[in-house]
Amino acid sequence: MGIRVENLRYAYGSKLVLRDISLFVNAGEYIGIVGVSGCGKSTLLKLLAGLYQTQSGVVEVHGACRPEEIRKNVAMVMQNTVLFPASIKENITCGHPMSEEVIWQACKAAQLTEWITSLADGIDTFVGEQGGKVSGGQAQRIAIARAIARNAPVILLDEATSALDGDTGSAVLAALDSLTRGRTVVSVSHRHETLANCSRIYKLEDGRLHSL
């Protein structure tokens, strides 16, 4: 199924940010898009996530074209992860019914188990407003666990590996590896070197996509 984008154009008012973008990603393929800040990478990713309605052209994700249908097939992880002001568990389930087994498997894959078991309230620990009571790395791994538990066929990564360092960085990378394995992945970044795992890399410049 994968992803199909054809002749996609998108503008904020009179400012055209994406011009005639065409992109085909096979199921299970991992591709990267690189570009400077403000070039339209996040806009493209939001269109692929079904967060924005297309203005012109086609976006088809895992066979779905309507935004509300597209959203059912994707999970997204961002650099600046936003968590809900709720418990770790609620951040993973997003309020949906989910078995304990699925939740703990997601936690394990996201390298969270050890940390969660060390907490007094365990998986019911409140993460604070916008994840203010957990570190950036922990928040990102909770977001990854959420994406794993979602079990979506398409994964979108927005600068997900741009600010990783040390032990936290390797834990997040391992978590991301669990998340993306066997899935269709589109990863965007402003740094070329963070897209080393990609089978194809594109550069987004002046609203157009160029193959590298």
Partner 1 sequence: MIRELRKLFNITGMLRRFIILTLLRCPFDALYTAVQALFLKHAFDAVNNAQTSSLFITCILFGVGNIILFLYNGTVWTVYTAFVTNWTAVLRRKLFRHIGSLSLRQIEMRTVGEWITRLNSDLHAATAMLNQPIHIPHAVVSLVNAVVSSVILASADMMMFSLVILFAVPHMLISRLIVAKPMTRLATDVQEAAAENASDMNAIIVCAAEALIYDAQSFLLRRFEESSLNIRRKSMRLQHRRALVNSLIPLMGMSGYLAALLVGGSRIAGGAMAFGSLTAVLQSRGRMLVSLMMFINSMINIKTALAGVRRVCDTMDIRPEDRDVA
Q: Which positions lie near partner 1, rule CB under 8 A? A: 46, 49-51, 71-72, 74-76, 82-86, 90, 94-96, 129-130, 132, 146, 150
Q: How far apart are CA 91 and CA 68, in angstroms?
A: 21
Give CA–CA dist 177/107, Å, rounded. 13
- Return the DSSP state at 194: G
Please answer whether residues 161 and 196 qualify as being in contact, where contact means their C-beta atoms are separated by less than 8 angstroms: no
**Nearest distance, CB of residue 126 and partner 1, angstroms:** 11
174: exposed, middle or buried (Cβ count in 10 Å: 0-12, 13-18, 19+): middle
**Min dist. Cβ of residue 24 to partner 1 (A):** 22
Euclidean distance between the first and the last CA atom of the chain, given in angstroms as a whole number:
24
DSSP letter at 82 equals: -
Task: List beta partners, residue 10.
Answer: 18
Closer Cβ to partner 1, 17 or 74, answer by number: 74
Q: How far is the CB of 49 from partner 1 (least distance, A)?
A: 6
Min dist CB 78 to partner 1, Å, is: 8
Q: Judged by CB, which is closer to partner 1: 69, or 167?
A: 69
Closest approach, Cβ 22 to partner 1, in A, equals: 24
Query: CB of 157: closest distance to partner 1 in angstroms?
Result: 13
How many beta carbons lie within 10 A of that of residue 26, not counting itself?
Answer: 12
Report yes or no: 21 and 54 within 8 Å, Cβ to Cβ: no
C-beta of residue 33 within 8 angstroms of C-beta of residue 186: yes
